[in-house]
Amino acid sequence: MITRLSNYSYRLLKYYAISCLLVFGSLSALAQEAKVSGKVTDGSNGDPLPGVSVLIKGTTSGVVTNFDGEYSINVPVDATLIFSFIGYAKQEVAVAGRSSIDVGLPLDVQSLEEVVVVGYGTMERSNVTGSISTVDVEAINKVPVPNVVESLRGQVAGVRVQRTSGQPGSGVSFTIRGINSLGEGSDNIQEANQPIIVIDGVPLPGGNLNELNPDDIESINVIKDAGAGAIYGSSAANGVILITTKNGSAGKPTIKVNASAGINDINTRLNLMDGDEYVQYLFDSGQGTTINGVLDPNEIENYVNGDFTDWQDEILQTGEVYQAGVSVSGGSEKLRYYLNGDVYREKGIVQNSDYNRYSLRINTDYKAYDWLTIGTRVQLTRSDADETSNTIEDFGGSFAAFVPILDNTPLGDIYDDEGNYVKYVRDDKFQVNPFHRYNESVVDRYVNRTYVNPYIEIKIIDGLSYTLNTFAEQRNQFYGRFTSSNYGDGDPNTARIQEQTSTNYLLDNILTYKKVFGKHGINATLVYGFQKNEWEQYDAFADKMGTDLLGYHAIDVSASADQRFSWDTDEWGRVYTVGRIGYDYNDKYVVTLTMRRDGSSKYTGDNKYGYFPSYSAAWNVHNENFWGFDFMNMLKIRASYGTLGNDRIGTYRYYSRPNVNVTTEVPVDDDNDPSTPDVLRDIAGYQIGTLGNEYLKWETSKQLNIGVDLGFLNDRITATVDAYQTNTTDLLLPQLIPNTNGYDSYIANIGETRNQGIDVALSADVIDGSDLRWNIAANWATNQNEIVKLNRTGPNGEPIDDEANGWFIGQNINEIYNYEYIGVWQADEADEALVYNQVPGDAKFRDVNNDGQITPGDDRVFLGNSTPDWYGGLTNTISYKGFELSVLLEYAKGITVVNNFYGGYTGRGNQLAINYWTEDNPSTEYPRVGSSDWTGVRGDAIKTEDASYISLRNVSLSYNLPSKFLENTPIKAVSVFARGNNLKYFTKMKNAYSPETGRGQYPIVRNFRFGASLTF
């Protein structure tokens, strides 16, 4: 079973556990003890310092100072005490038989400067030359979602996060500074533009970030420009998110327990037709003139009895969320550890759509010698998802539970006379009963993920260190599907079992040199490493099984003729060399040069390797001698230019490959008798697949970024502004060729795009009192892309549009090109409508060239696109004594989409209740129903809407119990909270569950969570 750990992972964990036991067992017992007490103060002003760690050197024993800076501890008479506190220099004091020791801690100026994770190392914020945003981890912890990327919504300038499905356990899509790549074709654009996520120095090759517990995160930094991102070369064209997980700290163990519970429900309900409106629609759309002519017998009975079915009421339910976690952290000067176990359980708003996640993380760091540190990060995750409700099969395809909500007649049946689920809600059997399908099927998905990330750090000489960072991960996914013999009419039962195994390896050799020589500072990094991913998938199918009782577990209880299987495998690898050198002079002028050489298995020959340089510089103007603006404490100007790559294409595109295991029926003369009929036999063989291209090379993005960082009133007000332009060339796209070659296209480097925009981030402490504080954090971004070149050119070499994919030169990648809907023809416009072969009640479209015809070649225009004109977020955080209120608004302006929640208004399915035109209701909002205007490109034009929105994305109210109430107790802190997420959309797009989801998708849910946290 895939639920078992691999032997490799098991051996690593066993070795890790034994090592930990040996280390803990080696701690010696304390010698003769004496009681020491005293007070710790700020060395500069004498103020007491609460929360200072007082640790017995060489042990894990220690205490922290109280609110008045006082402490008391039992120590060996020959002990040495270590006093440490963030922002202050650490002090070591020998007890030497004393019973009272007072300490004044001096400020540590260097430690007060923010340290930023930059990829294969860290830098002081003043030395950062690229565009890197540091995320407030406390702010994202207030967002009650299981996915850390989703918690970034509205929090980082230039980062746009979308969750198009609210199904428990589903992932999110996100971009940093928009879209650059076309991703081999229109079906792969979103995946090709996903940023990479690096956790503890390891780029993740894939997987759902729901498998990462947000409580384990220590810091998040977002790399947005090529100057900082070039160190990740071929992976960084779309930006990088750097995540660092938590470590332990020297001192007594800290135990933190948190738990929460909440509910989920639908954010907005659709206005669907009820029974009366539905019948009137059938009449108005020309489907009949009498009740008997438009309804089935069971619908007539329900209509006469007034038995209307609201499918939203029937299918939707109140979901539930539960989360609980326990963490333990601590250590000594030699050994630090962090251990966290977490359970997350979510019951969906539709039955049979539950998700459970169980995670365990162990982080350890052991300083064996002053020159040697070893450590590891281990994570075990198990997730179970019931996906039964999200896959219903019929009529040759599959669809989600929310299609019946929209389509099923409000006059249909759910139960028969005996209280059993009916198979079809209408007598003509063209609308399925989702409850019957839920009851007669099972769809399960289980994922086990194990990763081990050991490292060794060796300090060679002063300033020079070597780090060996290694990583091994195995991700096993099980998918089981079953439909019973009662699922449909006359169909046999079916089963499918799919097992996927993905294994990822990484090894980095990192050499770092960091040294200050008077006014000169050097920060150099050299990396040589490789990463490899192996993937395999086994699929088994069967039908006509001997029993329904065992579900998909009976997949082998069928005849061999009714069993099928397939096996697929894939692998890719990357080897790289990286060099980065940073130089700063007197904390004023900073220059960073980076070069990365990437070799990818997705290319061959001379094109296998790509070179990605970057150049960046910064000027800390506020450190100049001439600077005399006291109110403006910081002015930093940055500029960067760099080259990034993209190899997100399928593997082995340089080979021509046939499609294998193609089965077709061939007549076979089994008895060699021409007078007898031939027998049809299934023959497996090959057919034309894809044409290879050995000349494929790296898709390349070149980006220029100019930025400025500002600080006012000792950083009480801060601002960051960046402007950028990215030109992406050698796009990987299908090159069209005459099909007389046997193929119609092959992948080639033939496209070009341009992407430019501005990011702005602001933060202000409006009120900064001892009891009352008010902070405002805002971010705003604008980003526009355009297509410069595609896969076809004209006779003079000019680029030509690709209308089949909806791509147009000089326009946005997601541009909508269609007729412009301008209203409805009215009765007094009958003569004018006749010119266009229309009648009153039909849709009116703009005649662009005024030729009296609406034609595709002359009258379609660019209506807009799904890329917002601008977007961002606004967070207000107000705290008073122990109370804190945080409110996040997210906004996106200038989004245009085709709202496919509208139906075709021509069939017998239910529809949205809209104000459509009739002779008695001459509406100008929507045309008459039953018109062909509702279908095809004309229908899309009518359904094109403004999807801009302002969202009340998150509200958090918490209370921290004052520490004075916890004195003389083992509890260090108590916090209770109430939080809400996705609470309200303010949008013109009313006829949709949200402006971010489409027809049939699981709606975005709003969540209310209540919980508490205790620290011991």
List, for residues 698-739, the tens digit of each pLDDT value.
889 999 999 999 999 999 999 999 999 999 999 888 887 887
B/e letters for 839-867, b = 16+ CB within 10 Å, e = fewer, are ebbbbbbebeeeeeebeeeebbeebbbbb
* Helix 297-305 × helix 275-284 angle, to 10°: 130
> Can you tell me the distance from the alpha carbon of 433 to that of 12, in angstroms, rounded to the nearest whole number?
50
Q: What is the structure's pLDDT at 677? A: 72
For residue 659, what are its two tokens? Answer: 């499609």
> Can you tell me the distance from the alpha carbon of 556 to that of 564, in angstroms, rounded to the nearest whole number?
10
How far from each other are the two terminal CA atoms of the chain, in whole angstroms? 39
> Can you tell me the distance from the alpha carbon of 853 to that of 835, in angstroms, rounded to the nearest whole number?
8
> Can you tell me the distance from the alpha carbon of 404 to that of 393, in angstroms, rounded to the nearest whole number?
12
Q: What is the structure's pLDDT at 298? A: 94
Judged by DSSP in three states, 900 sits in: coil
Strand (E) or helix (H) holding 998: none
Q: What is the structure's pLDDT at 878? A: 96
Under 8 Å CB-to-CB from 161, ≥6 apart: which residues?
Answer: 149, 150, 152, 153, 172, 173, 174
Q: What is the structure's pLDDT at 661? A: 60
> Can you tell me the distance from the alpha carbon of 1007 to that of 830, in angstroms, rounded to the nearest whole number?
51
Residue holding tokens 């119609």? 744
For residue 940, what are its two tokens? Answer: 């899309």
Beta strands in 462-604 (DSSP E): 464-483, 494-517, 520-543, 563-585, 589-600
Under 8 Å CB-to-CB from 156, ≥6 apart: which residues?
Answer: 133, 135, 222, 761, 779
Locate all alpha helices (DSSP H) within 440-527, ordered by sequence.
none
Sites in the chain below the pLDDT cut of 70: 1-32, 108-113, 185-188, 206-208, 393-401, 660-666, 670-671, 679-684
Under 8 Å CB-to-CB from 536, ≥6 apart: which residues?
Answer: 500, 501, 567, 568, 569, 570
Q: What is the structure's pLDDT at 19? A: 40
What are the CA-CA distances from residue 292 to residues 283, 307, 408, 566, 930 (Å)? Answer: 11, 17, 19, 50, 19
Locate all alpha helices (DSSP H) within 785-873, ordered by sequence.
830-835, 856-859
Under 8 Å CB-to-CB from 506, ≥6 apart: which residues?
Answer: 202, 203, 469, 470, 471, 472, 529, 530, 531, 532
Q: Are 152 and 134 in contact (CB under 8 A)?
A: no
What are the CA-CA distances from residue 149 to residues 141, 172, 778 (Å)? Answer: 12, 7, 18
For residue 1007, what are its two tokens? Answer: 């969540």
Using a pLDDT cut of 70, give the percent of the chain over it: 93
Query: pLDDT tens, 66-114?
Result: 878 899 999 998 899 999 887 788 889 999 888 899 999 987 655 556 7
